[in-house]
Amino acid sequence: KTEGRNRWRAFDATMAQALLYRRRLESDLRDALAADGEGLSLVYQPQFCLNDSRIIGYEALARWKHPSFGAIPPAEFIPIAEEAGMIAELGEWILNRACDAARAWADDLTIAVNLSPAQIFEGDLTAFVKATLDRTGLDPARLELEVTEGVLIDNPERALHVLHGLKDLGVRISMDDFGTGYSSLSYLQTFPFDAIKIDRSFTQGLDETRSKTGLHAEAIVRAVIGLGHAIGIPVIAEGVETQTQFDRLKALKCDAVQGYLIGKPMPHLIDPLPEFDTKIVRIA
Ligand code: C2E
Ligand code: MG
Ligand code: MG
Ligand code: MG
């Protein structure tokens, strides 16, 4: 019984520590935003088109270098921003940065920016996106907003209203992490997405020598590509790390790939724009 109590206490202490750490991150993130995003940055990961063998654009991914704790992954600080009511502000900082960066790239390169579901419900996202496009002069067709399935769960009517408003601006909306949520297929029926991104877990399953969890991965990937093409939208595979995965995706007529094999997310590519090293990947 004593042991049980002690274990409880240790658990309490860990919980309290975790809570303190989280409050600290929340307050420091607030400070970072107040200081024009000090410590925050974006990195850009190339997206490679398999049909015409070239880089078509980059996905912007947020990074935060905390003054004391170092790099905090987005999977940790994005939810903190969401829960602390700071996601609109953080999202605005990210979109401003991303559009400014893309404006300096070649005209035919797109920029993909992730939207958190909470951004849809906080503030006037459509007005902000429009203002950012106007300010930067970025062609709306070059901006792609990535949303996950979670975006349509809480308040589908409101989410659909906002997504349609964004599409009316001329930006593209893609479905991120496809296949990992609860009702991916019903979402495809609800909103005219412009692209589907196959989640990394399926891509990794294509490489049987590396993954023991890839049961039926190839059948699933093939079906998702077929589904995208049947509704007339391109399919992009995330998390491509090996030549085997690349070759399978090309054989399955996937439209584009993104992953460490092509390029890791990089901080600066404005001048000069780094050329994808075609030696890394056998394109034929
Ligand atoms: P995501 O949008 O699905 O982004 C892809 C994630 O996969 C990124 O992780 C990227 O660095 C990682 N990745 C790319 N290629 C490979 C690969 O070949 N292998 C492996 N193992 N990983 C790869 P990251 O940057 O840690 O971001 C994680 C998630 O955090 C993102 O998933 C996205 O949901 C969210 N996130 C990142 N930046 C932002 C942002 O600016 N705004 C919002 N709302 N969410 C963001
Ligand atoms: Mg994404
Ligand atoms: Mg994804
Ligand atoms: Mg993800």
Residue ranges around ligand 1 (CB below 6 Å): 45, 61-62, 73-75, 78, 94, 114-116, 146, 176-177, 200, 238-241, 259-260, 265
Q: How much distance in Å is there from the Cα of 147 to the middle of ligand 4?
A: 10
Residue 210's pLDDT is 56
Q: Where are the beta strands (DSSP E) in 2-138?
A: 40-49, 54-66, 70-72, 110-114
Gap between the Cα atoms of 217 and 52, Å rounded: 25
Q: Is the pLDDT of residue 237 over 50?
A: yes
| ipTM exceeding the 0.95 mark | yes
Mean pLDDT of 242-253: 96
Pocket test residue of 114, 119, 149, 280 for ligand 1, highest count of atoms within 8 A of CB? 114
Gap between the Cα atoms of 49 and 57, Å rounded: 9
Give percent of the chain above pLDDT 90. Answer: 75
Does the pTM of the predicted model rise above 0.90? yes
Atom of ligand 1 nearest to the CA of 60: 41
Gap between the Cα atoms of 44 and 69, Å rounded: 23
Residue 121's pLDDT is 85
